Amino acid sequence: MNLARSKHQQWSSLPKVGEISVTLPIRLTDDLLAGNAQSATWITSPNSFNTDHFADLKNHTPLWKKQLLEAPGALRLQVECDYSDDQLRLLYAIVSRSLGYLNNRYSYFFDVQDRGLDYTKEAIPVSKTKAETGYHTDSTAKNYFPDFVGLLCLQPALQGGESLITNAANLLAYLNREKTHLLDLLHRPLYRDVITPGTVQDLEAIRNNAFPIFQHDADEGVIFRYMRYWIESALQKLAEPVPEFLHEALDTIDTYFSLPENAMCFRMERGDMLFVNNRFLCHNRTAFVDGEKPRVYVRAWINKTEQE
């Protein structure tokens, strides 16, 4: 296995949150908001806009994209002004569109907040609960995989809800050194449960929804798609035999990611925008408790090229 392809993705050391963070100049954010009479359309039809005419923004996006496409693979943007929710949503929509094309599977901008649901009792995204998500990449659908995941913090939790990010390219290097007997399984297709709203959710759909945890691209390097719960849920529903070494492989992944030396952990504050490469980074969220105002994040799925 050629690990040279993933060298540009690997962390040489655990990044500090300051190393992935950029403060947006007030002049830039004010200019993006000024006189924008189409704010509602930005939310409902973001791909209809071209951000090239924002000259100042265009000067920043090449560096942001480079930071996302290779190590560190994560970018936190912070605003300095106390903007309203609507203004923050508009800024987030413009910045997200500048990084690529938005996907509409859950709506272009999906509010992540506790809705009093339990993902262990029904096939729903963990983003609709207050539980820890577990380390995962977004989208369990075989035929769709976002390049970047964006999150805007409108209201942090009273307690908990910290963001965690870890690196699957580093994980693969570890497996190649220490756990080579697991590599074959991790590169074979594994069933994933089907949870996308509006799709058929039966056993045949699950059988057709199988893909590997690790794949490789000649240009990109490591491609990693993981959420343990939906792998185990699919096998349980199908009553399929558990593949040899699967429990060990999933335990190894979770243990590696859970070590403090392998994962960034930080709290997002109101107005923070976080963008994460969804192809070689894995993210998580700690469980949280709402205060008087509920914790609200806004998620976006972004692809480098326009998707169907």
Quote the distance between the C-alpha of residue 275 and its chain's center. Answer: 7
pTM of the model: 0.94
3-state secondary structure of 23: strand
pLDDT averaged over every residue in the chain: 92
Instruction: List domains and CATH numbers for the chain.
Output: 1-11+18-308 (3.60.130.10)
State the distance between the two ends of the chain, measured CA to CA, in whole angstroms: 32
HEC string of 178-229 equals: HCHHHHHHHCCCEECCCCCCCCCCCHHHHHCCEECCEEEECCCEEEECCEHH
Q: How far apart are CA 83 and CA 40, in angstroms?
A: 16
Which pLDDT does position 35 carry in this prediction? 67
pLDDT score for 6: 86
pLDDT level of residue 308 (50, 70, 90 thresholds): low
pLDDT digit string, tens, across residues 137-193:
999 999 999 999 999 999 999 999 999 999 999 999 999 999 999 999 999 999 999
Q: How does pLDDT run across 130-151, given as a tens digit for each residue?
A: 888 899 999 999 999 999 999 9
- Whether residue 151 contacts residue 112, with contact meaning beta carbons closer than 8 Å, is answered with yes
